[in-house]
Structure 1
């Protein structure tokens, strides 16, 4: 096999950052690391790229091997390559992230590597530079949530305003004023109020809404106003 002269070996890995929404909270999926160094500590789902794989194929394979999750759309967002990031060998990591509906994928999870969901403000210590990866992935998620309809893909066909507010608060890890959030949301003209109420969260109940797809693309930019001072999150 022909080789380039004078070049040293560098390993290439993938790491999968999976955020999930359980209906009220945003969480991060972690597993217990299954090899030295730092075996048994909490880790993102990572592994090395095989010679015959693309980075995307490797990310899907690694996620399934570590957790059992299949058919998760992940977006590549950054390469992490500090020379000392892995204490064993010089390793570059191509990071992918996703935001999923936890209930939709919960039954796929296997127990082999003890996958566990953690609240974003209760994350344990992680191996290597995984905490930095998560920090930057959260910024990327917030950026996408401000410009694209990814959060609405996690909601059921009918949802309450408190449900949607909880989703936004989970992504941005901040508290929104209830009245202002509701007023801004309803002023978009993109929600259709239904006759039914959700009586589980309170005696008074909250009305259900659904998204009006007829003028969604035309008016979606109005959702950008839901996040106060968005610059501080990016």
Structure 2
């Protein structure tokens, strides 16, 4: 079995694959100070609930955008699972994707993994929207090459910015409001966060396709993908496990090599 670890700025997701089947996945808040032992204690309990044991793991792969957590995650794999992990970003690891960027090394590992998984599942050209710590729009060419993208603040960070910057504005939940026009402060804020980001999604996808010069399928992933897809018909597919499946594909390809 394979353990795939997607370590982002907000959450770390651990997934167990049995071949192509996703057996289990768990999410923890990102904390660079969390030790390998702490991860191991937490994972042991969760794996037991799924009738899984550390000895079942025969491979590991990590996509990590938080350099400070790299040592602990690598140690978790080598000491707890007894396997040396493949790490996205390692020059020896073949991602199976061309990157048409001025500085390839600056592209987040998760964005390249998403591009690979999306192209394998849906062809191309594509726009892959990831509702993560940032809201990213990644461009995947017809041949699967990564061709660039857009990075915008996340809806969660917009909520926090309003709360911290304005003394009389509360922190609100991100959800679809009943009306666009709010009749009080909280409904007005919810409308701005929700419908404002729907406008962001629709506006950017339209401008990207206009600049690209041809129709593009739009795939969404990340925690808020389903919520925003309800009101943004430009999103054609919601794929919550896109990054994890991309990690499995990369591991399988490099094992064959």
- Larger radius of gyration between Structure 1 and Structure 2: 1
User: Do the two structures share a fold, i.e. TM-score over 0.5?
Assistant: no
TM-score by length of 2: 0.27
Which of the pair has the greater relative contact order for Cα pairs under 8 Å at 6+ separation? Answer: 1
TM-score by length of 1: 0.29
The structure richer in helix per residue is 2
